[in-house]
Amino acid sequence: MAPRPVTPVGIAAALVRSVETRLDGADGGGSAVAPEVLADLARARDLLDGVEDYVARCTSPASPALQALETRTRAEAWGEHLEQEMLSGHVEGAFLRMLVAVTGATRVLEVGMFTGYSALAMAEALPVGVGARLVACEVDERAAQIAREAFATTPAGGVIDVRVGPAADTLRDLAAAGERFDLVFVDADKGGYATYLDLLLDGDLLAPRALLAVDNTLLQGEPWLPGEAGVNGAAIAAFNDRVAADERLEQVLLPVRDGVTLIRRVS
Ligand SMILES: C[S@@+](CC[C@H](N)C(=O)[O-])C[C@H]1O[C@@H](n2cnc3c(N)ncnc32)[C@H](O)[C@@H]1O
């Protein structure tokens, strides 16, 4: 099954298509709506429909290992808690790989690995021969097993250390072991984001110039659409406000896929 839209742009495109279909159905393609209004609607649909494809076309392709992992993840029959739409995918994976490359990170932490797409994308940019590594936290053993199988197919996967269990416990263990990270990607349960941020900042898990990338900070528009915030939308809205109010931090929210906020500590 094709993935359902999970970005503000994708959802808006689907809404415009649905309005066009309903207008068509209502007047049989006749003239109840002025042609210029229909033309504007079609243009809005083309803009929204085309942008994600165009962005993907203009982005370096994913490696064969990542493409195979995406295909495998989409083919899987997921249950209640996990879904194929969780996979970050081509453009966000390329974005994360770029962050690893330009920051020169050698110690990367991922909170919320799923089947390993973003972990593998980041690992592909780690330098070879300097002991670089990526620790990936995941609570679901089935997703973790698919990730391990994918990592075993490619040299980049060899530097990924999968930790299965609640991420907060893993972060506490890493802090107790004195581990520090140059780049952290947070993409697990949205209600846990504030706790992960506290553990990262207070547990001294961040190297001095560390960069945090936090996923889904647009949460499909829920933080700003009136009356639409579910549990995850409310958690993200509170998290975004909290980050904005924290004077130790500087942040920028980028509309990559469902929103990625880059955060760094400034004091
Ligand atoms: C959005 S998916 C991650 C997608 C992944 N980063 C990618 O690019 O494919 C979120 C993942 O976080 C995991 N997760 C949820 N709660 C967690 C927790 N408390 N500790 C660790 N992982 C958790 C879920 O099982 C799920 O696989």
Is any atom of ligand 1 closer than 6 Å to the C-beta of 256? no
Query: Amino acid identity of 235?
Result: A
Residue 218's pLDDT is what? 98
Confidence at residue 112, expressed as pLDDT on a 0 to 100 scale: 98
The pLDDT tens digits of the residues spanning 120-178 come to 999 999 999 999 999 999 999 999 999 999 999 999 999 999 999 999 999 999 999 99
Selection from 89, 115, 14 nearest residue 256 by Cα: 89
pLDDT of 34 strictly over 60: yes
Any atom of ligand 1 within 6 Å of the Cβ of 138: yes
* Ligand 1 contact via 229 beta carbon (within 6 Å): no
pLDDT (0 to 100) of residue 2: 81
pLDDT of 58 > 60? The answer is yes
Cα(129) to centroid of ligand 1, in Å? 29
Q: What is the pLDDT of residue 30?
A: 58
Cβ pair 218, 260 in contact under 8 A: no
- pLDDT, average across residues 194-219: 97
Closest CA to ligand 1's atom 9: 87
Q: Name the residue with the closest Cα to ligand 1, atom 16.
A: 189
End-to-end CA distance of the chain: 47
Among candidates 248, 93, 265, 61, which has minimal Cα distance to 185? Answer: 93
Q: 139 CB under 6 A from ligand 1? A: yes
pLDDT of residue 52: 92
Give me the chain's average pLDDT, please: 95
pLDDT tens string 77-109: 998 789 999 999 999 999 999 999 999 999 999
Could you tell which of 70, 95, 189 is best to mutate to test the pocket of ligand 1, judged by most ligand atoms within 8 Å of the CB? 189
Q: What is the ipTM of this complex?
A: 0.99
Name the pTM for this structure.
Answer: 0.95
Q: Does the Cβ of 114 fall within 6 Å of ligand 1? A: yes
Predicted pLDDT of residue 28 = 58
